[in-house]
Amino acid sequence: MKKTPPRTVHDFILWAARLFDNADLYFGHGTDNVQDEAAWLVGSALKISPSKLDACLKDELSLEQQNTLHALVDARITTRKPLAYLINEAWFAGLKFYVDERVIVPRSLTAEFITEQFQPWVKPAQVHRILDLCTGSGCMAIALAQAFPQARVDAADISLDALAVARINVENYGLRERVRLLRSDLFSALKSERYDLIVTNPPYAANDEMKMLPPEYRHEPALALASGERGLDTITTILAQVPKHLNANGVLVAEVGNSAITLQQDFPTVPFMWLSTSAGDESVFLLTAEQLQHHHSALARAP
- DSSP code at position 219: G
CB-CB contact of 267 with 294 (8 Å): no
- Reported pTM: 0.94
Judged by DSSP in three states, 99 sits in coil
* Strand blocks (E) in the chain: 90-92, 95-97, 129-133, 152-157, 179-183, 195-200, 246-255, 273-275, 284-288
Between the two ends of the chain, the Cα-to-Cα distance in Å is 65
CATH number 3.30.70.270 is the correct assignment for the domain at 101-300: no
Domain 9-87 fold is: Helicase, Ruva Protein; domain 3 (1.10.8)
What is the number of alpha carbons within 13 Å of residue 137 lying toward its C-beta? 29
Closest by alpha carbon to 132, among 191, 197, 188? 197
Is 101-300 in the same CATH topology as 9-87? no
**What are the backbone dihedrals phi and psi of residue 274, each rounded to the nearest 5 degrees, phi first?**
-90, 120
Q: From first to last of its 303 residues, what are the pLDDT tens digits of the chain?
A: 557 889 999 999 999 999 999 999 999 999 999 999 999 999 999 999 888 999 999 999 999 999 999 999 999 999 999 999 999 999 999 999 999 999 999 999 999 999 999 999 999 999 999 999 999 999 999 999 999 999 999 999 999 999 999 999 999 999 999 999 999 999 999 999 999 999 999 999 999 999 999 999 999 999 999 999 999 999 999 999 999 999 999 999 999 999 999 999 999 999 999 999 988 989 999 999 999 999 999 898 766
Count of C-beta atoms within a 10 Å radius of residue 152: 14
**Starting from the edge strand earliest in sequence, which strands make up the sheet with 273-275, in order?**
179-183, 152-157, 129-133, 195-200, 246-255, 284-288, 273-275
Q: Which residues contact 195 (CB under 8 A, 6 or more apart)?
A: 129, 130, 131, 154, 245, 246, 247, 250
**164-187 b/e with 16+ CB inside 10 Å = b?**
ebbebbbeebebeebbebbebebb
Closest by alpha carbon to 258, among 222, 284, 278, 296? 284
Cα separation, 109 vs 283, in Å, equals 8
pLDDT digits (tens, 9 = 90+) for 185-216: 999 999 999 999 999 999 999 999 999 999 99
Cα separation, 140 vs 198, in Å, equals 11
pLDDT digits (tens, 9 = 90+) for 147-181: 999 999 999 999 999 999 999 999 999 999 999 99
Cα–chain-centroid distance for residue 227? 16
Question: Where along the chain do its domains lie?
Answer: 9-87, 101-300
Cα separation, 40 vs 59, in Å, equals 16
Count of C-beta atoms within a 10 Å radius of residue 278: 7
